[in-house]
Structure formats: structure tokens, C-alpha cells
């Protein structure tokens, strides 16, 4: 089957009306389709998404409980709809933004060199306030902390990969098919999780902790959310170790040199 599209984006959503406009602004110019799997949103997320010409919404239900088994199943299966139709897929959470100064050009380069899974370098981005509407989030929140855990393989070639086999959270994969990782880091993955104010972040953390399903508890998935103190520790770590991640000015080169000589804490808790 001939491939008609360049990129399809698949994402998960639950009451993310504040972040959705930034997500769409980031991906809409490079993606041919953006498919949202929405988990019973009640804040207008579905209605907002449906107004966008490139978007579609598929609702799933978990009775308002955190079910990482269902989220993993979705991530491991839905992208297969793009086989034969798209050259690339991105399978991301709503707060995950694949970043490169020219994403399409970089993906084309990967395609020309037979790369089926480009490597990414993950960063937990941080801001003391929530970004302003109408301005790309990458122009507002530029500092973050390197995270090996969030160097997630969210972009790959659906025509060469037969199974991606994400583990819970998507932090690691066991891919099958024509697996060819890039030799070097091809992209950054900006994880916009720590967008303040702190009260907002703590409330979101606590809500997720209160919604943990018995399946999550039995498998010890996302249990840190049930401990408010862990949020304080993680937020403090990200704030302390934040570095300039997104900038096209001279400062970026200064930051690159700094990161090259800086010994990163690979045992980061987040």
C-alpha cells in the first residue's frame, strides 16, 4: 500500500484543556493526522479537539481510575492503523513534545539512512507559572532537567516495526521487526510535566494518586503518586538541576558545552 501521509500522532488525554492548544500548535504543521484517545474528559477537551480538522477523538473508559494496563495496550496497538499509510508515527502522552529545529527534515534524514527508531534525549521541563496562550510552549519554557527515564522512544517507522512492546509508562521498549536505532541522538523529548504554579502541580499529583486502580496497586505501577512528599522531592530535583534546553541563540551553544562537561546524575528519581 502506498504511503499517503508523512506523520501520524497518537496521544492520550484526560481533562487537558489547558495543554491541548500547545500540543496542537506544536504538531499540527508536521502531522497529517492527530488521534486523541480520551479517557472520560469532562473539561471540554473532547469538544475542543473535534473542532480541529486534523484531529479525531476515540473515547475509552476506566471508571475514572488509573489503569496503566489499558494505557499500555493502547500505545502498543493503535499505531498499527498507520501501517502502509504514514512514514512515521509518534505515540506520546499529551505533555510530551518531540523537539528539533526542523522535525520533518530530521525525520527525512532518518528515513534516507534506514533508521526505524531515532534516539531521543529526554528532559523534564519546568516553569514557575503556566505558559501563556497563543505562544509556542517551546518559546516560553526552555529550561529542563535531563532524564534518562524520559528519553522515551515515542517516534518510529510503523512500516518497519512490527511490535513496539512498550512497557508500562512507555519508558522502555522491546521492538520487533526491522529495528535500526540511530547512532546518535536525533531528537529531544520535552516533557512538560512541571508547569506551575506549585499548587496546581501538587493538586494534579494528588488527584492521580487518589485514582490509582487496584490493578495499578497490585502491580506497583505509579504508586509514587499516592505519596505527596515524593512530588516535593521530584520537583525540587528538577528545579535544582535545570539547564537551558531550548534556544537557538548563542546561549544554546554555551549550554551544550556546559552539558558536555557536566556529569549528569543518571540515577535521577524522575
pLDDT given for residue 170 in this prediction: 93
Residue 180 has pLDDT above 70, yes or no: yes
Q: What is the pTM of this model?
A: 0.92
215, three cell numbers: 490493578
Q: How many CA atoms lie within 13 A of 256 on its CB side?
A: 9
Assigned domain for 114 exists: yes
Range of the domain at 147: 5-261
pLDDT in tens, 42-52: 999 999 999 99
Look at residue 269 and tell me if it is in a domain.
no
Query: 129-137 contacts: CB < 8 A, separation 24 or more?
Result: 129/195, 129/196, 129/197, 130/18, 130/195, 130/196, 130/197, 130/200, 131/22, 131/195, 133/21, 136/22, 136/25, 136/26, 137/22, 137/25, 137/26, 137/97, 137/192
pLDDT of residue 49: 97
Average pLDDT (31-36) is 98
**What's the pLDDT score for residue 1?**
43
With CA atoms as reference, report the closest residue to 214 among 93, 63, 77: 63
Distance CA 115, CA 119 (A): 10
Q: What is the pLDDT of residue 247?
A: 80
Is residue 193 within 8 A of residue 200, CB to CB? The reply is: no
pLDDT of residue 263: 57
3-class secondary-structure state, position 174? coil
Domain annotation covers residue 120: yes
Q: Each residue of 68-77: pLDDT tens digit? A: 999 999 999 9
Distance, in Å, from the CA atom of 148 to the CA atom of 13, rounded to the nearest integer, reads: 24
Strands 86-93 and 5-13: parallel
Q: Using a pLDDT cut of 70, give the percent of the chain over it.
A: 91
By the 10 Å C-beta count (0-12 exposed, 13-18 middle, 19+ buried), 75 is classed as: buried
Whether residue 19 lies inside any domain: the answer is: yes
Confidence of residue 4 (pLDDT cuts 50, 70, 90): confident
Averaged pLDDT, 212-227: 94
Is residue 78 scored above 60 in pLDDT? yes
* 181 located within any domain: yes
Judged against a pLDDT cut of 90, whether residue 264 lies above it is answered with: no
**Domain CATH for 115:** 3.90.550
pLDDT tens for each residue of 84-128: 999 999 999 999 999 999 999 999 999 999 999 999 999 999 999
pLDDT of residue 238: 95
Cell (9 digits) for 66: 488509573
Residue 268 domain-assigned (yes or no): no
Higher pLDDT, 14 or 263: 14
What cell numbers appear for 205 in the block?
A: 499529583
Does the pLDDT value for residue 176 go beyond 50? Answer: yes
Confidence at 253, pLDDT banded by 50, 70, 90: low
* Residue 154 within a domain: yes
Give me the number of domains the chain comprises: 1
Residue 4, number of CB atoms within 10 A of its CB: 10
Q: What percent of the chain has pLDDT over 90?
A: 89
Amino acid at each position: 500500500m502506498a504511503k499517503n501521509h508523512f506523520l501520524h500522532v497518537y496521544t492520550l488525554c484526560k481533562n487537558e484543556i489547558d495543554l491541548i492548544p500547545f500540543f496542537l500548535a506544536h504538531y499540527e504543521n508536521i502531522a497529517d493526522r492527530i488521534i486523541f484517545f480520551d479517557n472520560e474528559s469532562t473539561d471540554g477537551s473532547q469538544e475542543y479537539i473535534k473542532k480541529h480538522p486534523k484531529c479525531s477523538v476515540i473515547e475509552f473508559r476506566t471508571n475514572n481510575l488509573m489503569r496503566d494496563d489499558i494505557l499500555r495496550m493502547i500505545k502498543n496497538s493503535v499505531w498499527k492503523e498507520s501501517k502502509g499509510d504514514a512514514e512515521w508515527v509518534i505515540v506520546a502522552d499529551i505533555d510530551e513534545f518531540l523537539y528539533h529545529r526542523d522535525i520533518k527534515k530530521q525525520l527525512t534524514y532518518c528515513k534516507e539512512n534506514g533508521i526505524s527508531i531515532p534516539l531521543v534525549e529526554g528532559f523534564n521541563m519546568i516553569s514557575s507559572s503556566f505558559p501563556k496562550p497563543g505562544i509556542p510552549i517551546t518559546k516560553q519554557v526552555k529550561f529542563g532537567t535531563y532524564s534518562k527515564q524520559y528519553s522515551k522512544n515515542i517516534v518510529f517507522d510503523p512500516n518497519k516495526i512490527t511490535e513496539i512492546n512498550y512497557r508500562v509508562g512507555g519508558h522502555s521498549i522491546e521492538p520487533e521487526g526491522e529495528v535500526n536505532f540511530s547512532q546518535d541522538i536525533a531528537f529531544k523529548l520535552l516533557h512538560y510535566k512541571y508547569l506551575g504554579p506549585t499548587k496546581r502541580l501538587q493538586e494534579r499529583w494528588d488527584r492521580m494518586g487518589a485514582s490509582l486502580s487496584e490493578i495499578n496497586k497490585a502491580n506497583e505501577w505509579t504508586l509514587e503518586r499516592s505519596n505527596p512528599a515524593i512530588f516535593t522531592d521530584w520537583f525540587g530535583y528538577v528545579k535544582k538541576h535545570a539547564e537551558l534546553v531550548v534556544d537557538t541563540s548563542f546561549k544554546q551553544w554555551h549550554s551544550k558545552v556546559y552539558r558536555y562537561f557536566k556529569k549528569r546524575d543518571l540515577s535521577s528519581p524522575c
